[in-house]
């Protein structure tokens, strides 16, 4: 199965047919602001929970020592925030329809 990459402009195309009254530029603009809103919320430390899609959480990763596998040199990695993503059960079910999965 060849993989296709679906990008934002494809979402705009998908929505066009449903909202003929709204100009294209506005559709694109609002989709951009939706995702801008989501990334702003994450940077404020709010979690995102979209039913049917999944959740996004910001998690603080503590500072740690790591090693360069090539040179064996130890380096310090600073504390940083990471986005944790968990897909919703509904989504897991939808992409695994053809498989039987025991929980």
Partner 1 sequence: MVILLIKLKTILLIIMSNNVTRQDLYDLTYKELGISKNECIKFVDLVFESILKNFEEGNKVKVSLFGSFDVKDKKARIGRNPKTKEEKEISSRRVVTFKPSKFLSKKINK
* Contact in structure between 83 and 72 (CB atoms under 8 Å): no
Residue 83 in the binding site for partner 1 (CB under 8 A): yes
DSSP assignment of 25-63 = HHHHHHHHHHHHHHHHHHHTT--EEETTTEEEEEEEEPP
Q: Which of residues 42-71 bind partner 1 (CB under 8 A)?
A: 42-43, 46-54, 56, 58
Residue 3 in the binding site for partner 1 (CB under 8 A): yes
Among 24, 39, 77, 89, binds partner 1 (CB under 8 A): 39
Tokens of 68: 């360069």
Residue 41: name the closest of 62, 26, 52, 57 by CA: 57
Residue 28 in the binding site for partner 1 (CB under 8 A): no
Residue 16 in the binding site for partner 1 (CB under 8 A): no
Q: Which residues bind partner 1 (CB under 8 A)?
A: 1, 3-8, 10-11, 14-15, 18-19, 21-22, 26, 29-43, 46-54, 56, 58, 80-83, 85, 87, 91-92, 94-97, 99-102
């Amino acid at each position: 199965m060849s993989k296709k990459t679906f990008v934002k402009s494809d979402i705009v195309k998908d929505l066009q047919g449903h909202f003929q009254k709204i100009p294209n530029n506005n559709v694109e603009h609002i989709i951009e602001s939706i995702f801008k809103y989501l990334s702003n919320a994450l940077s404020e430390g709010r979690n995102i929970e979209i039913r049917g899609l999944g959740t996004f959480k910001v998690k603080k990763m503590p500072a740690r020592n790591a090693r360069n596998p090539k040179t064996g040199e130890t380096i310090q990695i600073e504390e940083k925030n990471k986005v944790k993503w968990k897909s919703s059960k509904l989504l897991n079910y939808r992409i695994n329809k053809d498989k039987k999965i025991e929980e």
